[in-house]
Structure 1
Amino acid sequence: METTKKILTNVKMPFCPGCGHGVCVRSISKALENLGYSSKDVAMVSDIGCSGLVDPLFATHTIHGLHGRSPALGVGVALGMDNPDKKVIVIQGDGGATIGLQHILEASRRNVDMTLVVINNLLYGMTGGQMSGLSTNEFKNYKHSDDDAEPYDVVNLAHQSGAAFSVRVNNISNFTDVLKEAMSTPGFSLVELSSLCTSHGMKKISEMKDFIVAEETLKNNRPIGVSVKRDSTSLLKNLKVLETQYTSTINDTIGVVIAGSAGGGIQSAAKILAQAAILSGLHATMKGEYPITVGTGFSVAEVILSKNPINFSGLEKPNVVLAVTEDGWNKVKNRITFESKVLVDRKICADCSFEAKDFLKVGGKKGAALSAVAYWVKESGVFPLAALNKVVEDSKYAVSLQKAIKSAEELQEVVYSYVPKTNKK
């Protein structure tokens, strides 16, 4: 292990006044520090809910997952790391434990070497105080809930499934010591900590005694679960490496937003742009956004091109906006600034105050976005148009993609200056 370093950051706790989650977070930190772990020795995994707000509080490696799925992510990290000097800590609330109960049972069954901390405030705190699968009957009566189903006992369920150590702790003065024991136990350990929700539950910890399950400690003497090691070829081995072949005129960073409709090749055009930038000696990131329906509605992609390494892939103020359909335009038009270079298809606004081109007319529905990209690359001179053609030459759609790139040369030279419209009384 490295020299002990503070596990917590200096970030202010985001919880409501009086919330018990702060006590739980500090107890986890103290337990790790007392055991000699450095911040770099720990992988902290969380999911959705009030307990999912912990990421910025820990100076450790952090992973944030879907609601209830943090134990599954923790299992993957622990089995992949397979290092007794490192520690995987998973944090979730009683809501997350309810939603992802099967993941807890699987981690218990396999006795994976990690510690799961279930912070139980008896309800879904982030969404208004609804009952969870760990809400006791007494608490449901107190809240006048019509949920008459018996609650889960997650401590017993973990034990029966094979967890090496499972415990419920209600007394906050014992949190740190019990967590240390759990973290020191080889195999899977589950610690359920009682927490106070002052917004939807009780106002004082002393009032919770009539609504919580009694403390309990259960152990199984089992070997640590391991993953079967096998020799296999890396998935990265056959990836095509993009070596620099062209020169770029970019000296800093340019953020490009490409917007259109689902099925219009928006994401493909963005990927081609990013790869062409890499061929031109630049660093590049690309990410997409589209509705869950996938086949209908908008499709938007963000591409960052930079001479220097890119440490953050977010794009708040795009330098360039390329919009080829109204679906995409409606999604991104509020993001443009006075400094943004805006290119739109003429069908969006033939007489608007932006530079308008016939991208759809020359590129077609599936080639309009790439046509817009090619036009901007050619017009701006950020790198040679040949870089785009080089990217697509081995594609099974090479002919249609090259046609879309070449179509940029056919666009009419009708230019409008970008003058933001103002509301006048």
Structure 2
Amino acid sequence: METSDKILTKAKMPFCPGCGHGVCVRSTSKALENLGYGSKDVVMVSDIGCSGLVDPLFATHTIHGLHGRSPALGLGVTLGLDNPNKKVIVIQGDGGATIGLQHILEASRRNVDMTLIVLNNLLYGMTGGQMSGLSTNNFKQFKHSDDNAEPYDIVNLAHQAGAAFSVRVNDISNFEKILKEAIEKPGFSLVELSSLCTSHGMKKISELKNYIVEEEKFTNNRPVGVSLRRNTVNLFDRAKILIPQFNSNISETIGVVIAGSAGGGIQSAAKMLAQAGILSGLYATMKGEYPITVGTGFSVAEVILSKKPIHFTGLENPSIVLAVTEDGWNKVKNRISSTSKVLTDSKINSEESYSTKEFLKEGGKKGAALCAVSYWINESRVFPIEALLKVVEGSKYEESLRSAIKSAENL
């Protein structure tokens, strides 16, 4: 383990004056350093809220996730890391713990080797002091809240779900001691630390003591959860290496929008166009857009081709628009500018007199998009059509793909 560097950076604490989160952060760093961990030995995972401001404070590896989801991220990192000399520490507030409660229970059930620190100031501090699922009944009465539901006992819940170690700590002087014990404990540990919110809650620790739950501590003697290891092929080893074999005569960046319906091979056609561009010595990007219901509705893809490196994949002003169905056309027609070249299928109803071709008739439902791409390549001579044919070589659908490409010759 690294032992020479510090866990904390020299960044100024971003919390409100008197906020208890700063104490928790310092206690965490001291506990890690006293256990011999250096900055490169630790992965800190946080989420949204005041507790999520900790990222720049730690000189460790850091991951920032969605509200309540940091335990799920930490679980994935822990299982993938699988290194007893490294440690994953997850930090979230009582609001995040409420929102992502299932993730905490899952980490407890699996008993993965990580530590979750819940900074409980009894409320949502960043959004105005609303009550959380860990706000105590006494505190809700103090705040005149109409929330009369019993609060969660997150410590006991984690224990019941199988956590190796779960504890609530109210005494600031014991934070570092308990954190060391939790971090050292193999398996999943949850530490709830009482924290002040001087803006919406208590101003002093002596006041806070009247509204917090008594300390409790639980342990489970269980084996540490690990992921099942499988012998798999490295994705990079399976990647298709594209070495330029053809030449392109383009002199400027070209942005192509391909629009159609779900199941019509829109994304595949765009991917093959981008790959053909790479085979022709060009830089290429491709990204797709489609609704959540991937089996119905529109499907749109964007491809950028350039002789210069592409630093931004956004395509606000397409050079070429290829539309093969009404679904896709309705999605992209408002993006067309006066400089865009537009090719549509003859069945698309358009108020403008764009150039139309029988893409669906010649290429079929699944081959219309590739037919349109092939027609544009032949017409524009952006690069040889042989580059596109080269892309489909060896595909299990090679015969049908070559047929779709060749169908453009009939237009």
Amino acid in structure 2 at the alignment position of 1:112: V
Amino acid in structure 1 at the alignment position of 2:201: M
**2:300 maps to what in 1?**
300
Q: CA deviation at 1:45?
A: 3.2
**1:246 maps to what in 2?**
245
More displaced stretch, 106-115 vs 81-90: 106-115
CA distance in 2, matches of 1:308, 1:38: 42
More displaced stretch, 14-23 vs 166-175: 14-23
**1:232 maps to what in 2?**
231
CA distance in 2, matches of 1:151, 1:240: 51
SS in structure 2 at match of 1:97: helix
The two structures, once aligned, show a CA RMSD in angstroms of 4.6
SS in structure 2 at match of 1:92: strand
How big is each residue's C-alpha offset from its partner over 1:6-58, in whole Å with a ceiling of 9 and x where there is no partner?
65678888878886656655654555455554443333334566655666765
**2:83 maps to what in 1?**
83
Corresponding position: 1:388 with 2:364:
no
Determine if contact 2:3/2:33 at 8 Å carries over to the other structure.
Answer: no
Query: Unaligned regions of 5+ residues in structure 2, if any?
Result: none
Determine if contact 1:4/1:33 at 8 Å carries over to the other structure.
Answer: no
CA distance in 2, matches of 1:348, 1:12: 61
Corresponding position: 1:315 with 2:284:
no
State how many pairs are aligned. Answer: 405
How big is each residue's C-alpha offset from its partner over 1:119-166, in whole Å with a ceiling of 9 and x where there is no partner?
334345677766443232233444555543322211122234443332
**1:202 maps to what in 2?**
201
Q: CA deviation at 1:256?
A: 5.2
How big is each residue's C-alpha offset from its partner over 1:209-252, in whole Å with a ceiling of 9 and x where there is no partner?
443323444445655444455x5343649846334262354899
Residue identity over aligned pairs, in percent, reads 72
**2:45 maps to what in 1?**
45
Amino acid in structure 2 at the alignment position of 1:246: Q
**1:107 maps to what in 2?**
107
Q: CA deviation at 1:408?
A: 4.6
**2:169 maps to what in 1?**
169
CA distance in 2, matches of 1:343, 1:17: 60
CA distance in 1, matches of 2:3, 2:103: 33
CA distance in 1, matches of 2:204, 2:253: 52
Determine if contact 2:136/2:213 at 8 Å carries over to the other structure.
Answer: yes
Amino acid in structure 2 at the alignment position of 1:267: Q
In 2 relative to 1, CA 233–257 (structure 1 residues): closer, same or farther, beyond 3 Å? Answer: same
**1:211 maps to what in 2?**
211
Determine if contact 2:129/2:201 at 8 Å carries over to the other structure.
Answer: no
Amino acid in structure 1 at the alignment position of 2:352: D
In 2 relative to 1, CA 257–141 (structure 1 residues): closer, same or farther, beyond 3 Å? Answer: farther
CA distance in 1, matches of 2:6, 2:259: 44
CA distance in 2, matches of 1:329, 1:184: 59
Computing the radius of gyration from Cα coordinates, the structure with the larger value is 2
**1:93 maps to what in 2?**
93
CA distance in 1, matches of 2:379, 2:174: 67
CA distance in 1, matches of 2:5, 2:380: 49
Q: CA deviation at 1:71?
A: 2.6
Amino acid in structure 1 at the alignment position of 2:98: T
Determine if contact 1:389/1:402 at 8 Å carries over to the other structure.
Answer: yes
Amino acid in structure 1 at the alignment position of 2:90: V
Corresponding position: 1:351 with 2:352:
yes
Q: CA deviation at 1:208?
A: 4.2
Q: CA deviation at 1:186?
A: 3.0
CA distance in 2, matches of 1:291, 1:301: 12
Determine if contact 1:349/1:356 at 8 Å carries over to the other structure.
Answer: no
SS in structure 2 at match of 1:288: strand
More displaced stretch, 112-121 vs 271-280: 271-280
How big is each residue's C-alpha offset from its partner over 1:63-88, in whole Å with a ceiling of 9 and x where there is no partner?
45565443344233223322122111
In 2 relative to 1, CA 386–227 (structure 1 residues): closer, same or farther, beyond 3 Å? Answer: same
Query: Unaligned regions of 5+ residues in structure 1, if any?
Result: 412-425
In 2 relative to 1, CA 344–198 (structure 1 residues): closer, same or farther, beyond 3 Å? Answer: farther
SS in structure 2 at match of 1:234: coil
In 2 relative to 1, CA 217–337 (structure 1 residues): closer, same or farther, beyond 3 Å? Answer: farther
CA distance in 2, matches of 1:260, 1:172: 61
In 2 relative to 1, CA 282–54 (structure 1 residues): closer, same or farther, beyond 3 Å? Answer: farther
**1:267 maps to what in 2?**
267
More displaced stretch, 246-255 vs 116-125: 246-255
How big is each residue's C-alpha offset from its partner over 1:308-348, in whole Å with a ceiling of 9 and x where there is no partner?
998x775375765635256556656777889x865453747
- TM-score normalized by the length of structure 1: 0.71
Q: CA deviation at 1:113?
A: 1.5
SS in structure 1 at match of 2:321: strand
Q: CA deviation at 1:114?
A: 1.0
CA distance in 1, matches of 2:2, 2:366: 53
SS in structure 1 at match of 2:384: coil
SS in structure 1 at match of 2:193: strand
- TM-score normalized by the length of structure 2: 0.73
**1:405 maps to what in 2?**
405
SS in structure 1 at match of 2:189: strand
Amino acid in structure 1 at the alignment position of 2:233: S
In 2 relative to 1, CA 144–10 (structure 1 residues): closer, same or farther, beyond 3 Å? Answer: same
Determine if contact 1:289/1:299 at 8 Å carries over to the other structure.
Answer: yes
**1:417 maps to what in 2?**
none
Amino acid in structure 1 at the alignment position of 2:154: V
How big is each residue's C-alpha offset from its partner over 1:343-402, in whole Å with a ceiling of 9 and x where there is no partner?
4537475537xx755475565554443344334544565543223223334445545533
Determine if contact 2:242/2:275 at 8 Å carries over to the other structure.
Answer: no
SS in structure 1 at match of 2:152: coil
Determine if contact 2:359/2:372 at 8 Å carries over to the other structure.
Answer: no
